[in-house]
Amino acid sequence: MARELAKQYDPKEVEDRIYKQWLDGKYFHAKCEKDKPTYTIVIPPPNITGQLHMGHALDNTLQDILIRFKRMQGYDTLWVPGTDHASIATEAKIVEKMREEGLTKEDVGRDGFLERAWDWKKQYGGRIIEQLKKMGSSCDWDRERFTLDEGCNKAVKEVFVRLYEKGLIYRGERIINWCPHCKTSISDAEVEYEEQSGHFWHLRYPFSDGSGYLELATTRPETLLGDTAVAVNPNDERYKHLVGKTLILPIVHREIPVVADEYVEMDFGTGVVKITPAHDPNDFEVGLRHNLPVINVLTDDAKITKDYPKYAGMDRYEARKAIVEDLEKEGALVKIEEHIHNVGTCYRCGTTVEPRVSKQWFVKMKPLAEPAIEAVKKDETKFVPSRFEKIYFHWLENIRDWCISRQLWWGHRIPAWYCEDCGEITVSKEDAQSCAHCGSKNIKQDPDTLDTWFSSALWPFSTLGWPEETEDFRHYYPTNTLVTGYDIIPFWVMRMMFSGIEQTGKVPFDTVLIHGLVRDSQGRKMSKSLGNGVDPLEIIDKYGADALRFSLATGNSPGNDMRYIDERVEASRNFANKLWNAARFILMNLKSEEIIPLNTDDFALEDKWILSKYNKLVGEVTENLEKYELGMAVQKLYDFIWDVFCDWYIEICKSRLGGEDEKAADTARSVLVFVYTGILKLLHPFMPFITEEIWQSMPHEGEALMVSDWPKTDSGFEYTAEEADFEKIMAVIKAVRNRRAEMNVPPSKKARVQIATKFKDAFGAGTAYICRLAYASEVEIGDSFESEGAVRVITDAASVYMPMKELVDFSAELERLNKDLKKAEDDKEFFEKKLNNEGFVAKAPAAVVEQQRESLKKVLDKIAMIKESIKEIEDNM
RNA sequence: GAAGGCAUAGCUCAGUUGGUUAGAGUACCUGCUUGACAUGCAGGGGGUCGGUGGUUCAAGUCCACUUGUCUUCACCA
């Protein structure tokens, strides 16, 4: 006997058990099967510092849906999981933790620090992996990777050396974004701009020959210490003649020149700009053009250097205050204005970024960007939805060289050694023992590490064993789908693209599926500071992982943000329960665990109808999934399961299952199990736990649903005519229910239902369930019936009479019929107008025209029947 | 300043290459111990798809302009 199921689905009882079963069965493990096509996804590696949030939940749900779908379709599927070492984020956390112990990085030293970092990784790195498992993610855990593991390390060194040797990595003194809190350089992509209100200090710098002043405005007076020129526009009539003169820098009393540079906007402010090459990117460029000295006035934590004893040690804002006061004393301050401007901040810690000149490593981007642009233009990689290609192109087309060195310890140490004797650089995959130029042993490795994203950029191939020619790499690379949020296109997608093309000669994936952000119920970004984050684990605990996954997949169209609404998850939970109870119903009506084979000859009309609908569903859901229309697929499944299968087909089967005819009951059983099993398969990628649990309780063949075959459409199930016939019956049932509800007749009060129709065969076969569903005491089918004393409803296929004498109010009946007639005649007019439009008939596709003709025909039939009824009543009155 | 998204029922959202008289969930109203399910069943009210104009036999769906809203990028010291 089949297993009995509880009255309500309890995810807690099921999920961990089923997940373990999958793991034990090694179903997630990719076996490099040469005879199968491959389908590969690499996970966007979550940070080891992170905890699962709704963004991960969405990202991983989408990936799991795709991978489970393809696995069932027979692909050799591989989903590579792993985590990211997240250099800045992790280092910041460890520094923070040490600070609580009263320790600094310097106290424990590089090795001591790294030891702590690895301990951290051991302790927390596994946390997020366990959380991903709770979601049901079918990753190949045997292939789990870490961006700082041995293999990734090897790949990183290989790429660094290759690019260096090609001249695509260089070291240079440039102005970069510096975070004074993290004490490291950061890339352009890591700077976030925010609007802040500040001030405009108008200053005047006197000419050294005593011939007056030049007035200018600045938002950062403290940088005045590092001014090495003042610039005006060469075409500015007001100042043209002053170019070449010198000024005395207030406070510092250094002599600086007036230079002419196109960069200065004549109509902004006074048209005069102070130039601080060490602390402003634009000024740096001006400095280069005019050969100006670069004077750094700030330390790495944004305090004034000891070169200015009066301000030394003050942080930039304190110094600003002090300097403004001194300027005022010196009479150099003209006025202060309110000013709103954009300030760059560190994307990790939010500290205002300090532009700073320093020696860093860079990747030359132009030569790498071009092939990456080409590849997407040639559709070698497609974005879904395609509009995100614009963002991708915009970034790559305007890209500047990528600053890859970080003044951090947690990360891939730069494989470059400096010779103390000859001063040359040795770059090597192996740890260098001596200078490659002069042979000196007196060499030191660069203390810096690489940007986290340098290793993430290699993720699609480093995880498959590259640079070794491994079996995995040969078999699974290039990968297929990359699933990620639009916010990291510039950080990650773009960098994987150019790295993949440069290093392997192939694009790393053929499709980039972009999703949006999960926002809170009010549409706000979920954030720690707002405290509005929703913890997926709590939701799983409350409603189950399947309900959460289903909610995230429903109504989520690619690239669009979505809101997290609790009620939606509740609705998904209810849906899971509906599915569960359908299984209970089927199970309690089966006689054995044997699968009853389908027998075409025994099918009743309703069987043909459901098989035909199911067959269409299989085709549509498959197509939707192949086109990444996951939301659409899930909506169709929902409608089919709840409305078509449960509310109609199951209800209809009840009369056969409870009837005397065992053969008919068996036919119903065979179709119920067949269609329901198909549903479980189609739904499995979305709701893996419950579908697996139910499948194993039902008659089945094979070990597990997750490794069973995806359903295929079958032309033998295309019962078009039967579908239409059955829908005539549905229309009658609905019309009867509707009329009874209008008259407030409770279901317990049964009435005779007489159906006058041209389709006697179809209706005749359905009397048993029409009786049930239309709350009838008995059902009669015929050409016509005595209408006296009957309530009547008319569909386009039948006139239905319900003799309920005591309830019948003839004038009310007449009124209703006239209302129906009016509606039907409006419809008739609508269709006729369309069909009389020559343009429509000539140009619209034949199928569309035919549809309209069909509709018109039905309306005409209906009108005839209504008129007849009206006449009958009038005759009897 | 530039680019892009979104605007559809009270609320949250679907709507696939333009093609039956626009859908779902939820909320609301009415009725139901209907032997799978009240996390349920049946019935109902409620949008003309932000606005204007255009293309087309046909537009929520394409184009232009416009309003509101959000995002990203750039940035003038």
| Nearest nucleotide, CA A217 to C1' | B77
- Amino acid in position A395: W
The stretch A23-32 carries a mean pLDDT of 97
A744 CA to B29 C1' in angstroms comes to: 14
- What are residue A132's phi and psi, to 5 degrees? -65, -35
Instruction: State yes or no: cis peptide before A597, omega within 30 of 0.
Output: no
pLDDT of residue A790: 85
Q: CA distances (Å), A678 to each of A241, A369, A423, A685, in order?
A: 85, 47, 71, 13
Straight-line distance from the first to the last Cα atom of chain A, in angstroms, rounded to the nearest whole number = 62
pLDDT band at A635 (very low <50, low <70, confident <90, very high): very high
A162-171, A433-442, A519-528, A805-814: least confident range: A805-814
Sheet holding A425-427, edge to edge: A425-427, A416-419, A443-445
Instruction: Flag whether pLDDT at A383 surpasses 70.
Output: yes
| Nearest nucleotide, CA A745 to C1' | B31
pLDDT digits (tens, 9 = 90+) for A272-324: 999 999 999 999 999 999 999 999 999 999 999 999 999 999 999 999 999 99
- Amino acid in position A749: K
Residue with CA nearest C1' of nucleotide B24: A635
A747 CA to B33 C1' in angstroms comes to: 13
A577 CA to B52 C1' in angstroms comes to: 49
Higher model confidence: residue A480 or residue A872?
A480
CA distance A677 to A829: 45
| Nearest nucleotide, CA A543 to C1' | B39
A210 CA to B28 C1' in angstroms comes to: 83
pLDDT band at A805 (very low <50, low <70, confident <90, very high): confident
Residue with CA nearest C1' of nucleotide B26: A567
CA distance A870 to A815: 9
Q: Where are the beta strands (DSSP E) in A469-530?
A: 479-485, 509-515, 518-519
A650 CA to B36 C1' in angstroms comes to: 9
pLDDT digits (tens, 9 = 90+) for A121-141: 999 989 999 999 999 999 999
A158-172, A652-666, A696-710, A788-802: least confident range: A788-802
A44 CA to B77 C1' in angstroms comes to: 41
pTM score, whole prediction:
0.95
A563 CA to B49 C1' in angstroms comes to: 21
The interface predicted TM-score of the complex, written ipTM, equals: 0.96
Residue A746 tokens read as 């409770």
pLDDT of residue A555: 65
Instruction: Flag whether pLDDT at A695 surpasses 50.
Output: yes
The stretch A778-785 carries a mean pLDDT of 92
Which strand B nucleotides have any atom less than 7 A from protein CB atoms? 3-6, 12-16, 19-21, 24-26, 30-34, 36-44, 56-58, 71-77
Degrees to nearest 5, angle at CA A631 with A625 and A634: 75
pLDDT of residue A530: 79
The residue length of chain A stands at 877
C-beta separation of A765 from A605 below 8 A: yes
Sheet holding A751-757, edge to edge: A776-782, A751-757, A798-803, A790-794
CA distance A56 to A533: 13
Task: Using a pLDDT cut of 70, give the percent of chain A over it.
Answer: 99
Instruction: Flag whether pLDDT at A639 surpasses 60.
Output: yes
A849 CA to B59 C1' in angstroms comes to: 18
pLDDT digits (tens, 9 = 90+) for A451-502: 999 999 999 999 999 999 999 999 999 999 999 999 899 999 999 999 999 9
Q: Where are the beta strands (DSSP E) in A266-325?
A: 272-275
A614 CA to B10 C1' in angstroms comes to: 35
Interacting residues of A324 by C-beta distance below 8 A, sequence separation 6+: A201, A221, A333
pLDDT band at A3 (very low <50, low <70, confident <90, very high): low
pLDDT digits (tens, 9 = 90+) for A239-274: 999 999 999 999 999 999 999 999 998 888 889 999
Interacting residues of A318 by C-beta distance below 8 A, sequence separation 6+: none
| Nearest nucleotide, CA A583 to C1' | B36
| Nearest nucleotide, CA A487 to C1' | B72
| Nearest nucleotide, CA A584 to C1' | B36
CA distance A640 to A679: 9
A607 CA to B45 C1' in angstroms comes to: 35
Residue with CA nearest C1' of nucleotide B5: A560
Residue with CA nearest C1' of nucleotide B33: A748
CA distance A98 to A79: 37
